[in-house]
């Protein structure tokens, strides 16, 4: 299955959960590894440590949350792959409130790519360091 098809299928799955299962959170982050090798991801906010996760090819990692009253919510993730590593702001309220409610990220050989809601092309991405 192509990368484009994977992204659309995954977006529809997430949308299904929001529409039919009554997801109460305002925002949802969805990170998927589309590399043939594993990637290690560790995401945190000021208040929450989401732990370390190893994502194999096609495996997603996701979480939901509400943006705080001050609209300063920030989640950052550290990534380690055979192609490189880095720590990136995966959700930053001042950047993402108007960009996405379901924030989709793909981990690729050249870095981490982000997408706007319903976008077919990435609109934001981070190159490996």
Q: Kindly tell me the sign of the dihedral angle through the C-alpha atoms of 57, 111, 120, 124.
A: positive
What pLDDT score was predicted for residue 72? Answer: 95
What pLDDT score was predicted for residue 23? Answer: 40
Using alpha carbons, select from 103, 5, 6, 22 the residue that is nearest to residue 58.
Answer: 6
pTM greater than 0.85: no
Grouped pLDDT means (10 residues each) for the chain, 129 residues: 63 57 71 97 96 97 94 97 98 94 96 90 93
Report how far apart, in Å, the C-alpha atoms of 8 and of each of 22, 65, 92, 110 are: 21, 22, 23, 21
Count of domains in the chain?
1
Task: Determine the structural domain holding residue 81 and report its residue range.
Answer: 3-127
Q: Domain holding 25: CATH number?
A: 2.60.40
Could you tell me the end-to-end alpha-carbon distance of the chain, in angstroms, rounded to an integer? 29
User: If you write DSSP's letter for every residue of 40-101 in order, what string do you get?
Assistant: EEEEE-SS-EEEEEEE-TT-EEEEEE---TTS--EEEEEEEETTEEEEEEEEEHHHHTTT-S
């Amino acid at each position: 299955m192509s990368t484009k098809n994977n992204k659309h299928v995954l977006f529809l799955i997430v949308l299904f959960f929001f529409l039919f299962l009554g997801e109460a959170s305002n925002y949802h982050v969805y990170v998927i590894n589309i590399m043939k090798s594993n990637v290690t991801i560790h995401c945190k906010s000021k208040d929450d440590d989401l732990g370390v996760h190893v994502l194999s090819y096609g495996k997603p990692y996701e979480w939901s949350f509400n943006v705080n009253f001050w609209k300063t919510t920030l989640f950052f993730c550290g990534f380690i792959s055979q192609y490189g590593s880095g720590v990136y702001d995966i959700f930053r309220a001042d950047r993402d409130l108007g960009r996405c409610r379901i924030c989709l990220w793909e981990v690729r050989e050249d870095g981490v790519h982000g997408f706007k809601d319903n976008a077919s092309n990435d609109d934001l991405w981070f190159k490996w360091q």
